[in-house]
Amino acid sequence: MQNFIFENPTKIIFGRGQIRRIGAETARFGGKILLVYGQGSIKKNGVYDQVMASLGEAGLAVVEFPGVRPNPVLSHAVEGIAIAKREGIEAVLAVGGGSVIDTAKTIAAGARADHDVWDFFVYRQTIRAALPVLTVATVSASASEMNAAAVITNEEGCRKYSIRSLHVQPKVSILDPSVLFGLDGRYSAYSAVDVITHMLEGYFNNTEPEASPLQDRLVEGLMKTVMEATERILATPDDYRARAEMMWASILAFNGLTTAGMGQVSLPVHMIEHSLSALYDIPHGAGLSVVLPGWMSRRQGEKAGRFARLAREVFGVETTDDDEAARRAIVALKRWFASIGAPVTLAEAGIPADDIDRIAENAEELAQIWGLKDYTRREIGAVLAWCV
Amino acid sequence: MQNFIFENPTKIIFGRGQIRRIGAETARFGGKILLVYGQGSIKKNGVYDQVMASLGEAGLAVVEFPGVRPNPVLSHAVEGIAIAKREGIEAVLAVGGGSVIDTAKTIAAGARADHDVWDFFVYRQTIRAALPVLTVATVSASASEMNAAAVITNEEGCRKYSIRSLHVQPKVSILDPSVLFGLDGRYSAYSAVDVITHMLEGYFNNTEPEASPLQDRLVEGLMKTVMEATERILATPDDYRARAEMMWASILAFNGLTTAGMGQVSLPVHMIEHSLSALYDIPHGAGLSVVLPGWMSRRQGEKAGRFARLAREVFGVETTDDDEAARRAIVALKRWFASIGAPVTLAEAGIPADDIDRIAENAEELAQIWGLKDYTRREIGAVLAWCV
């Protein structure tokens, strides 16, 4: 276990009927708020009405800022920043999934900065203050409702980059699993892929001489739970218990818990996927289900021990041969992704294999910024060659 | 999964060489601090010198308040409160284990109250403010370094009672596993018993219709880790990796993580043990290793399913018969406690079996306060009869 700092102050209010508490919680941070949401699904499933009623009861002045799209874009967040500044907004409330929350975080940081918010994403500036962010989460995938990160795509150059700061971490997040009942099967599956990838990028990093058996066990327990819950959700979308397990597990998978003591966890699979969703606007989870098994195939030689442990502990593989077990882990993971309806090749995700060079060029730029020096255009191309 | 609130804002700074950061962290909360510690072990293992050097560098004014004993007593905390008030203390720094941290929390709450601090422990008053608490933890057991609870014994009537409030939860805790190298085998074992009991009291509560497979898996992963690490620690007290696993696992076992969604978890084993350590001044862990298996024997009929799962998942028991598996869980747990040198009968803990009535009378009073109505004197006596 390497030295680490763990600090996660978000207050989680979890369960049925909890959305009605958002007004009182928000009022602790300001009287005039920006309400950020997406394409209107919250108006169909009743969440919007619940939120507005609670905000009204708390006597809050609300400026609405809808229109966040999946793979949220910088230009839209910049619009939100201008509104927040002009209106004297005191707190930002995100009602939605990761895209909405990440847009809210970007607005919260930008509203307190006197320079281009993109400077934070390319590490030219450090976030030193932000408006308080609160959330009502309606998708279980990104864990953005309980972490310090946000991802935004700059349309100029299709650059999907990220920030990380405690200043933008939500103060309060309300999670009612029953709001997930209406989430369709495809997006429920993509959520599971995202959650699993978050965990496995850390898990594969948990190597000697500092490997932690505790962290391995946490990830394995979470992963089995996510797989089980997803299968139940796909069969019965309004299975409250399965939605609740998924909602809480998705957060624990990427709120710092499973990576504590693992050092700087690099996220090459996420990095390469960012280029897929930036260039082709596919759902993040649908890109990850293509890249993760491909990346594992490329790294099988070096990571056989880790992949073999996954095979044995999660997929019940029994062979004592690490290379064979590692190979079976990749097959089992691919098969499971396919079984829940997630694509496992570039073609299945609608991406032409001829585009590998273009994708690699895009991803290499982010690799530089993230400090993943090994991920040259050539290496990224080699990973993508396994995704065909 | 039942509705829950999870809020745990303590900043954890974990690892080798981290104690030197305590001065700068403390200075964020005040310029004049009360330094609470125990019987002087921190002067032998170098922790005191490290802390004082760091506090000095940060320019803090330090009032020392040593003398906390295991099973810390109210009268001592009351002395600390008087000093804190008189000296205008702005923050309380605990350097020690659970007893020291709990004394510091009690002082922090009492220093901001204008009534008897004991009123908080008998629920006559609610904690509405406290001085900020910080810790440098030197024992891994109570998780007090990352939770909102404190336990104190009122010598009058030998009442070992507790408080719980976010106001007294540490703002910052520094954990350097190497400070545990000098902790002797007995106390290392008692720590393991305490940690395991914290988790199992929740685990046995994780029942239908709201049972969470995720919480089961978290507890099982933590428990295996604690058992493995303890065995390594007893063989090699300066095994850094084992101490680190134990230090982090002990916190996750009782910081709210494993009980999220389980409703109001009752702690009957802790409750009955409080009477043992209040009346006989034995180490808390040494009382728990007696009471836990006794309580399980008493509840075997009702909890067979839960005990059987423990048997299968943690102790590798293979029978499909729940009653038989449950029986074996109790035997296995007792055997493991004995193997690490923890007492498993009242006699082994130096407590006369003739005293059962006296213990039950003491425990019944706390049962009333904690709202454990089923735990009459008679029922507590019946549990203790299994501890002979």
pLDDT of residue B265: 85
Residue for token digits 């940690």?
B195
Q: Which of A240, A242, A241 lies closest to A226, judged by CA? A: A242
Assign A263 a pLDDT band (cuts: 50, 70, 90). Answer: confident
Rg (alpha carbons) of chain B, rounded to whole number: 20
Q: What are phi and psi of A168, to 5 degrees?
A: -95, -5
Architecture of domain A185-385: Up-down Bundle (1.20)
In sequence order, what are the residues at sequence separation of 6 or more whose Cβ sits closer than 8 angstroms to the Cβ of residue A362?
A: A157, A158, A159, A275, A278, A279
| Extended strands (E) in A194-331 | none
Quick check: A264 pLDDT over 90? Answer: no
Residue of chain A nearest B224, judged by CA positions:
A214
Average confidence (pLDDT) over A263-288:
93
* Nearest CB neighbour to A225, from listed B17, B213, B241: B213
Tell me the two tokens of residue A41. Answer: 């699904």
Residue for token digits 């609870």?
B149
pLDDT of residue A266: 87
- Give residue ranges of A with CB < 8 Å to any B CB: 1-18, 177, 210, 212-214, 217-218, 220-222, 224-225, 228, 241, 244-245, 248-249, 252, 257, 260-261
DSSP letter at A32 equals E
| Domains in chain A: boundaries | 11-178, 185-385
b/e burial code for range A327-356 (CB count within 10 A of at least 16 → b): bbbbebbbebbeebebbbbbeebebeeebb
Q: How far is CA A14 from CA A11, A160, B263, in A?
A: 10, 31, 12
Average confidence (pLDDT) over A161-177:
97
- Residue of B14, B214, B251 to mutate when probing chain A, most A C-beta within 10 A: B214
Report chain B residues whose CB lies below 8 A from the CB of A244: 1, 212, 261
Residue for token digits 């898996």?
B217
pLDDT of residue A244: 98
b/e burial code for range A136-174 (CB count within 10 A of at least 16 → b): bbbbbbbbbbbbbbbbbbbeeebbbbbbebebbbbbbbb
Question: What ipTM was assigned to the predicted interfaces of this complex?
Answer: 0.95
Rounded Cα gap, residues A278 and A184, in angstroms: 23
Quick check: A39 pLDDT over 90? Answer: yes
Q: Which of B252, B342, B274, B368 lies closest to B72, judged by CA? A: B274
The string of DSSP codes covering B104-123 is HHHHHHHTT-SS-THHHHTT
pLDDT of residue A138: 96
pLDDT of residue A190: 97
Q: Please judge whether A7 and B12 are an interchain contact, meaning their C-beta atoms are less than 8 angstroms apart.
A: yes
Residue of chain A nearest B222, judged by CA positions:
A214
Average confidence (pLDDT) over A133-157:
96
Rounded Cα gap, residues A260 and A8, in angstroms: 12
Rounded Cα gap, residues A174 and A263, in angstroms: 30
* Nearest CB neighbour to B221, from listed A14, A221, A261: A221
Rounded Cα gap, residues A247 and A195, in angstroms: 10
Q: What's the full length of chain B, in residues? A: 388
Report chain A residues whose CB lies below 8 A from the CB of B249: 214
In sequence order, what are the residues at sequence separation of 6 or more whose Cβ sits closer than 8 angstroms to the Cβ of residue A13?
A: A21, A25, A172, A173, A174, A175, B5
Phi-psi map region of B334: left, alpha, beta (phi>0 left; psi -120 to 50 alpha): alpha
Contact (CB, 8 A) for B252 and A237: no
Rg (alpha carbons) of chain A, rounded to whole number: 20
Rounded Cα gap, residues A15 and A23, in angstroms: 16
Q: Please judge whether B11 and A5 are an interchain contact, meaning their C-beta atoms are less than 8 angstroms apart.
A: yes
Helix (H) or strand (E) holding B91: strand B91-96
Quick check: A210 pLDDT over 90? Answer: no
Rounded Cα gap, residues A62 and A52, in angstroms: 9
pLDDT of residue A59: 98
Rounded Cα gap, residues B256 and A14, in angstroms: 13
Quick check: A112 pLDDT over 90? Answer: yes
Instruction: For domain B183-385, say whether CATH 1.20.1090.10 is its number.
Output: yes
Report chain B residues whose CB lies below 8 A from the CB of A18: 3
Rounded Cα gap, residues B294 and A343, in angstroms: 53
Name the strands in the sheet holding B61-65, side by side, starting at the edge strand that comes first in the sequence.
A61-65, A32-36, A91-96, A133-137, A172-175, A4-14, B4-14, B172-175, B133-137, B91-96, B32-36, B61-65
pLDDT (tens digit, 0 to 9) for every residue of chain B, 388 residues total? 999 999 999 999 999 999 999 999 999 999 999 999 999 999 999 999 999 999 999 999 999 999 999 999 999 999 999 999 999 999 999 999 999 999 999 999 999 999 999 999 999 999 999 999 999 999 999 999 999 999 999 999 889 999 999 999 999 999 999 999 999 999 999 999 999 999 999 999 998 888 999 999 999 999 999 999 999 999 999 999 999 999 999 999 999 999 999 888 889 999 999 999 999 999 999 999 999 999 999 999 999 999 999 999 999 999 999 999 999 999 999 999 999 999 999 999 999 989 999 999 999 999 998 899 999 999 999 999 999 9
Q: Which pTM value belongs to this model?
A: 0.96
Q: How far is CA A159 from CA A9, A113, A154, A273, B94, in A?
A: 30, 21, 5, 12, 48
Q: Among 2.40.30.10, 3.90.420.10, 3.40.50.1970, 3.40.30.10, what is the CATH number of B11-178? A: 3.40.50.1970
Q: What angle do CA A217, B174, B49 make, to 5 degrees?
A: 140
Contact (CB, 8 A) for A326 and A317: no
